[in-house]
Amino acid sequence: MLSGKRIVIAIGGGIAAYKVCSIISDLFKAGAEVRVILTQAATQFITPLTVSTLSRHRAYTDEDFWQPIHQRPLHINLGEWADILLIAPLTANTMGKLASGLADNLLTNTVLASGCPILLAPAMNTQMWEQLSVQRNWQQLQQDSRYYFIGPGSGLLACDRVGAGRMAEPAEIFLALQSLLYTQGKRDLAGKQILISAGGTREYLDPVRFLGNPSTGKMGLALAQAAIYRGASVTFVHAPMDTSLLASVTNLRRIPIVTAEEMQQAMLANFPAADVTIMSAAVADVKPANYSTVKLPKKELPDSLPLAPVADIVAQLGKLKQESQLLIGFAAQTGDIVKPALEKLKKKKLDAIAANPVDRVNAGFASDTNQAILIDRHGRQQQIEPCSKLQLAHYLFDFIREIATYS
């Protein structure tokens, strides 16, 4: 998703500037071309030598901007070259300039000379962030369709205050850049309500033992992240997941659950309002027939475990689905993945299904990559070769949009 992409990173004057170094490094490793702009204040926190070493290209400062050494103005070249522009950290000063359309340095002139999407990652002291003037500028920028926003988060700041103003983490910004580069800034899901289930449910035998599966929820989280950057509002019903993964996606309405029964209740409650529902969770098929409220001693564990069925959530949703709604399923399979996926598609009244192999290297549970065959109710199939789960998520939303177009 990043190979060959042209990214301009503008670094503002704040302590969070050091975090941007890892973003530059990761982008280069992913095959992107990176150009870095440092404001005068930013050079007080990190040096041009640091970022030029990481990006393998010279860094630009305001001194370059005012020197007549280029055939064309530097800000014009950078603005026209960029596929996307990241400003991180976005300071209160730069935010005010952007909101007013001012251009008095290389960064702000490059913004006005560009036509690409711009991702803003603000960072500042909590008191500064909460100022009426800063919030007014922030709201003003949100009226401009060119700008996309990530953060700020809350936590311990460099000023020792705990509160809002912390810059989004590099991993979160990296994901956002990938989505925006894929969509080219288009919000083609704007106004849509997307309901997504994710992770593996746990069916307990006693307080410490359960039947489960290896699902980490990474695929569902990638779907949520892709939907958000395409303009959708997302409700995310998820089984227990790594909190660091959850922190990588903001603007998410999360409903944490543990068991299949809890997921069933959450999905049924939120389904009527959803335009698109995607069941990517690995929901249990059975559960222990008996539950002990206290930990069973090892000697009291049964030699054979009586099991009871678990409600088929996606089948229930299929029966409730209205004509205006789309219901998408996942089929994690081994061996022949198409035949059982087609059976599930028809039996459960799905509009489409993603059949993905879990017996191949770097696909399925816990992996950062995946592959699939997408199948819709009309029989159309699309082979998705191994790619990142985020990229697969975007392919699936493209596939869903085509279903909606000819339905």
- Residues recognised as catalytic: 159
Q: Write the CA distances from 39 to 6, 82, 109, 121, 196, integer angstroms.
A: 20, 18, 12, 15, 41
**Structure tokens, 340:** 């059982």
**Amino acid identity of 171?**
A
Instruction: Look up residue 37 and give its DSSP letter.
Output: E
Is 149 in contact with 120 (CB distance < 8 Å)?
yes
Q: Find the radius of gyration of the CA atoms of the chain.
A: 24
Separation of alpha carbons 394 and 208, rounded Å? 38
* Torsion angle (degrees, nearest 10) of CA 390, 395, 399, 400: 20
User: Secondary structure of the chain: what % helix, strand, coil (to 5)?
Assistant: 35, 25, 40
Instruction: Look up residue 167 and give its DSSP letter.
Output: P
**Structure tokens, 258:** 């543990």
Separation of alpha carbons 263 and 269, rounded Å? 10
Give 285-340 as a DSSP string: SEEES---SSPPPGGGS-SS--EEE---HHHHHHHH--TT-EEEEEEEESS--HHH
